[in-house]
Amino acid sequence: MADTVAATQQGGYPHFLEPLDLGFVKLRNRALMGSMHTALEETEHGFERLAAFYAERARGEAGLIVTGGIAPNPAGRVFTGAAKMDTEHEADEHKVITRAVHDNGGLIAMQVLHTGRYGYHREAVGASELQAPINFVKPKKLSDEAVHQTIADYAKCAQLAQYAGYDGVEIMGSEGYLINQFTAARTNNRDDEWGGTYEKRMRFPVEVVKAVRKAVGEKFIIIYRLSLLDLVDGGSSWPEVVQLAHAIEKAGATIINSGIGWHEARIPTIAMVVPRGIFSTVTGKLKKEVTLPVVTSNRINTPEIAEAIIARGDADLVSMARPFLADGAFVAKTRAGRAQFINTCIACNQACLDHTFSGKLTSCLVNPRACNETNLNYNRTDKPRKIAVVGAGPAGMSAASVLAERGHHVTLFDAADKIGGQLNIAKEIPSKREFEETIRYFGNMLHEHQADVRLGKKVSAEELIQAKFDEVILATGIVPRKLNLPGADSAKVLSYVDVLREKKTVGKNVAIIGGGGIGYDTALYLTDPGHKTWANPEEFAKEWGFDLKVSTRAGLTEKSPELVAAPRQVTMFKRSKGKFGNTLGKTTGWIHKITLDERTVAQFSNITYDKIDEQGLHYTLKGESKVLPCDNVIVCAGQEPLRDLEAGLVAAGIAPHIIGGALEAGELDAKRAILQGAELGARL
Ligand code: FAD
Ligand code: NAP
Ligand code: SF4
């Protein structure tokens, strides 16, 4: 947003860019690239690709990189066949990564992650035999002997990481994984030396840190990821968190990283709805208690936020994971005074976490090169051509910017008076304002690489033919699908574009036709109570029922009903059977569902639409005719491709390249549109 440019003009990010001396090693700045599983760990030739991925982030000046989680033993794996390190052979495979990072001036630590009861396999173990609400597997309780063996496995894994060339390890002690399962009464009902009192529950992580320190010697970084705010019933209290921090410090850790929220918590902690930098004050509270450097994390996606946090003294380092997927050169651009060219992570989760949880390779919606560094490159062309791109939505912006960066002569047309296409509509949804950053990034790239951007220009096939372009790309997007229903043309029927872009007046009782992503977004927009909680950490915490001061156990409090009261009654309809929300993102859909539920949005599936008249929307449900009295019916019934220029071009012997919604409207999203644009841009 505008603040990115403003801060750049003021010049400098002195606190964020300042080195951090750990005694035996110096970090070149305060940016820690947080741990992310990419699935390359389990892909053929994945380690070479991981090496290229991390090397690019090292070149981009990440201060300290942390890898995705690697299990210390088979039971600790995320799934059968997932990455582990308990043999020298497995450690040898990692050498290509550590070499690549060091060759590029970086430092890298390996995260040691034991999933405990979050393991999706039959070997899963836990502190107790208590099944996680988000897993289908009941864990086996670790015996006393097995607990000792697991501690030894952590130590051996760290030693192997050191042998593989890593500069340190991060011990994952948060997010509800095995270590948390020992520390929290919620998941630990043991009555031996590893359960009962808090002193006994926290013994496991303390012994792990001690054993790891003993195994790796003094000059090796040990980051401990400590859960500051569990956000689940039966989680840790603040005094317990502090007690553990002191013990971890004494046991030999080098750095304490912040963990926020277990995976099973029903409070958003990293999605776009979450205010930027919201949890830094919680880390600030811990920083006052310990002498080790502390790292803060979650929703830090611009250098301004990072600078403000470090300058305020809330943390010594900021952890950014997804922002380094979105832009490997985040720090280098910041240092060079080019923060306005950072491709900002918009916290959509669509190509990273949603992929991880569907077993797909991680990438990034705004940067399809992420994890594709060896197979998607924007090399300079030695044959610059004259290329027209019609449509400046995500597909067109992406293609035009890559082509211009590669040295082609690009003319980008859009009928609208600004670039962005439908992202300009998406960013009207209160929780989706981050799309503004994507538009800002592409706008700056197009300007930097001298693309000729012609706005307010609905181009015709005739004009394209006359201008004699070498290549024509149609990225003209979609048209919203209209209803074929008696009364569909009445004044009370509006499309989502009328509501979101044209801001047409909407009454107090509304029916929404369509339960896809846009139906949900329109419902969220129309029921938004207007408190802008996405920009206000305290209000957001009250809306979702937690306390940033952690004055209650695990930080949980009652939700504030006045923050969720909707300004109108909305009812959603769809024709297909089954629950609403099945097409929403895996890691964000639940947030939208809870939100609409709290705003008392009613939902009906398996509907036949009959007609719309003065009375309202007439429909049939289970053979019974019904009517919903309403002021407006909003149509969110999907889209059709807009390809009106194709026939004219083909008739003139021009074969256009077609991308984005213009190619296929079904299941289209900005991820696919940007990827197609980038792939075509790299190829031509
Ligand atoms: P468009 O974005 O439709 O762009 C096409 C452009 O072509 C338009 O700007 C149009 O003016 C221009 N054009 C057409 N014809 C001509 C012509 N003859 N001359 C000049 N210009 C022309 N996707 C996600 O991935 N995540 C989300 O969270 C998300 N949320 C959304 C929320 C809403 C409310 C909406 C409406 C969409 C959302 N989407 C989301 C979908 C996403 O915006 C679209 O998938 C994406 O914009 C499609 O990109 P596109 O470039 O193919 O087309
Ligand atoms: P969509 O997901 O395909 O949903 C369209 C809805 O319209 C469906 O619920 C469908 O349900 C209904 N429908 C289809 N044809 C109809 C007809 N002739 N009459 C009445 N109803 C009809 O499309 P969308 O909601 O417009 O979203 C467009 C794209 O944008 C999506 O593919 C999505 O990926 C993307 N998007 C993504 C997000 C995100 O958060 N990731 C958010 C918004 C949009 P029935 O057939 O059951 O009636
Ligand atoms: Fe960020 Fe979305 Fe990219 Fe994930 S896919 S890194 S959330 S922009």
Contact 278, 308 (CB under 8 A): no
Give, using CA atoms, the residue closest to atom 3 of ligand 3.
Answer: 364
Phi-psi region of 633 (alpha: psi -120 to 50; beta: other; left: phi over 0): beta
Rounded Cα distance between 519 and 601, Å, is 12
pLDDT, tens digit, 9 for 90 and up, residues 82-107: 999 999 999 999 999 999 999 999 99
Task: Kindly report, residue by residue over 301-354, the tens digit of the pLDDT.
Answer: 999 999 999 999 999 999 999 999 999 999 999 999 999 999 999 999 999 999
CATH of the domain at 495: 3.50.50.60
Residue with CA closest to ligand 2 atom 7: 637
Q: Could you identify the atom of ligand 2 that is nearest to the CA of residue 496?
A: 26
Q: Which of 240-244, 517-521, 564-568 has the lowest mean pLDDT?
A: 564-568
Q: What is the pLDDT of residue 235?
A: 98
Q: Where do the DSSP E strands lie in 422-558? A: 452-455, 471-474, 478-480, 493-495, 509-513
pLDDT band at 563 (very low <50, low <70, confident <90, very high): confident
Query: Is 370 part of a structural domain of the chain?
Result: no
Q: Is the pLDDT reported for residue 1 higher than 60?
A: no
Q: Please give the angle made by the CA atoms of 18, 20 and 22, to the nearest 5 degrees.
A: 170
What distance in angstroms lies between residue 475's CA and the mean position of ligand 1's atoms? Answer: 9
Residue 668 CA to ligand 2 center (angstroms) comes to 9
- Give the model's confidence band at 675: pLDDT under 50 very low, under 70 low, under 90 confident, else very high: very high
Residue 96 to residue 590: CA distance in whole angstroms: 39
Give the residue with greater pLDDT, 9 vs 600.
Answer: 600
Number of domains in the chain: 3
What pLDDT score does 348 carry? 97
Please name the helix (run of DSSP H) or strand (run of DSSP E) that holds residue 225, with its range, or none: strand 221-229
Cα atoms in the 13 Å half-sphere on the side-chain side of 651: 8
Q: Positive or negative, the Cα torsion across 346, 351, 357, 361?
A: negative
Q: Is the pLDDT of residue 6 over 50?
A: no
Q: How far apart are the first and last CA of the chain?
A: 31
Per-residue DSSP letter, 61: T
- Is residue 393 within 6 Å of ligand 2 at its C-beta? no
Tokens 């035999």 correspond to 129
409 and 496 part of one domain = no
Q: 455: domain CATH number?
A: 3.40.50.720
- The DSSP element (H or E) to which 89 belongs, if any, is helix 88-93
Is the same domain home to 335 and 449? no
Please write the tens of the pLDDT for every residue from 129-162: 999 999 999 999 999 999 999 999 999 999 999 9
Mark whether 394 and 272 lie in a shared domain: no
Ligand 1: which of 476, 494, 498, 639 to mutate, most ligand atoms within 8 Å of CB? 476
- Same domain, residue pair 126 and 170: yes
Cα of 345 to ligand 3 centre, how many Å? 5
Q: For the segment 496-532, what is each residue's pLDDT rounded down to a tens digit?
A: 999 999 999 999 999 999 999 999 999 999 999 999 9
Largest CA distance in the chain: 83
Q: The tokens of 626 are what? A: 């019904």
Say if residue 8's pLDDT is above 70: no
Relative to the CA of 671, which ligand 3 atom is closest?
5
CB of 464 within 6 A of ligand 1: the answer is no
512 Cβ inside 6 Å of ligand 2: no
* Distance in angstroms (rounded) separating the CA atoms of residues 480 and 102: 51
In this structure, the strands spanning 493-495 and 125-126 are unpaired
pLDDT, position 561: 86
Cα four-point dihedral sign 228, 230, 231, 235 = negative
Triad 114, 116, 117: Cα angle to 5°: 150
Q: In this structure, are residues 497 and 521 in contact, taking their beta carbons and an 8 Å threshold?
A: no
The residue that leads in pLDDT, 457 or 445, is 445
Mutate to test the pocket of ligand 3, among 297, 301, 327, 346 (most ligand atoms within 8 A of CB): 346
Residue 244, both tokens: 């553990």
Residue 498, in any domain of the structure: yes
- Tell whether ligand 1 has an atom less than 6 A from the beta carbon of residue 304: no
Is it the case that residue 467 has pLDDT exceeding 50?
Answer: yes
Task: Kindly give the distance from the C-alpha atom of residue 367 to the centroid of ligand 1, in angstroms, as a whole number.
Answer: 17
Q: Could you say which ligand is closest to the alpha carbon of residue 477?
A: 1
Same domain, 133 and 170: yes
**Are 474 and 488 part of one and the same domain?**
no
Please determine, for residue 10, whether its predicted confidence score (pLDDT) is greater than 60. no
> Is 308 part of any domain?
yes
- pLDDT value at position 460? 97
**Is there a single domain that holds both residue 511 and residue 609?**
yes
Task: Compute the distance between CA of residue 520 and CA of residue 603 in angstroms, rounded to an integer.
Answer: 11
Give Cβ neighbours of residue 200 (< 8 Å, ≥ 6 apart): 190, 192, 193, 194
Query: How long, in residues, is the chain?
Result: 684
- 583 CA from centroid of ligand 2 (Å): 9
SS3 content of the chain, % helix, strand, coil (to 5): 35, 20, 45
Confirm whether 518 is domain-assigned: yes
373 in a structural domain: no
Instruction: Indicate whether residue 519 lines ligand 2 (CB < 6 A).
Output: yes
Q: What is the pLDDT of residue 11?
A: 59
Is 257 among the domain residues? yes
> Would residue 372 count as lying in a domain?
no
Residue 564 to residue 560: CA distance in whole angstroms:
7
* 514 ligand 2 Cβ < 6 A: yes
Q: 9 pLDDT band (50/70/90 cuts)?
A: very low
CB 285 within 8 Å of CB 549: yes
Distance, CA of 404 to chain centre: 28
Of 8, 641, 99, 97, the residue nearest 333 (C-alpha):
8
- Of 13, 154, 166, 177, the catalytic one is 177
Give how far Cα 86 sits from Cα of 74, 195, 560, Å: 8, 27, 48
Question: Do 333 and 402 belong together in one domain?
Answer: no
Q: Is the CB of 673 under 6 A from ligand 1?
A: yes
Assess whether 145 and 18 both reside in one domain. Answer: yes
* Distance from the alpha carbon of residue 366 to the mean position of ligand 1, in angstroms: 14
> Using CA atoms, how far apart are residues 365 and 346, in angstroms rounded to an integer?
9
* Average predicted confidence (pLDDT) for the chain: 96
- pLDDT at residue 2 is higher than 60: no
* pLDDT tens readout for residues 61-82: 999 999 999 999 999 999 999 9
Quick one: pLDDT at residue 4? 41
pLDDT of residue 112: 98
Residue 491 tokens, joined = 């004044």
DSSP string, 259-316: EE--TT-SS-SSSTTSPTTTTHHHHHHHHTT-SS-EEE-SS--SHHHHHHHHHHTS-S
Is the CB of residue 670 below 6 angstroms from any atom belonging to ligand 1?
yes
Residues 242 and 278 in one domain: yes
Q: How many CA atoms lie within 13 A of 547 on its CB side?
A: 12
Q: Which amino acid is at 675?
A: L
Range of the domain at 455: 386-479+640-683
Supply the pLDDT for residue 564.
86
Burial of 133 (0-12, 13-18, 19+ CB in 10 A): exposed
Q: Who wins on pLDDT, 12 or 294? A: 294
Both 627 and 649 in a single domain?
A: no
Ligand 1, atom 30, residue with closest C-alpha:
426
Q: Which residues line ligand 3 (CB under 6 A)?
A: 322, 325-326, 345-352, 364-366
- Which DSSP string corresponds to 537-559? HHHHHHHHTB-TT--SGGGB---
> Computed from CA positions of residues 408, 414, 417, 420, in that sequence, does the dihedral angle turn out positive or negative?
negative
What does the buried/exposed string (b/e) look like for 161-183 if buried means 16 or more CB atoms within 10 Å of the residue's CB? bbebbbbbbbbbbbbbbbbbbbb
What residues pair up with 475 in beta bridges, in sequence order? Answer: none
CB of residue 513 inside a 6 A radius of ligand 2: yes
Q: Which strand (E) or helix (H) includes residue 200? A: helix 198-201
Tokens for 660, please give them: 């984005």
Q: Are residues 203 and 133 in the same domain?
A: yes
* Predicted model pTM: 0.96
Per-residue confidence band for 457, with pLDDT thresholds at 50, 70 and 90? confident
Residue 2 lies in a domain: no
Beta carbons of 376 and 368 less than 8 angstroms apart: yes
619 is known as an active-site residue: no
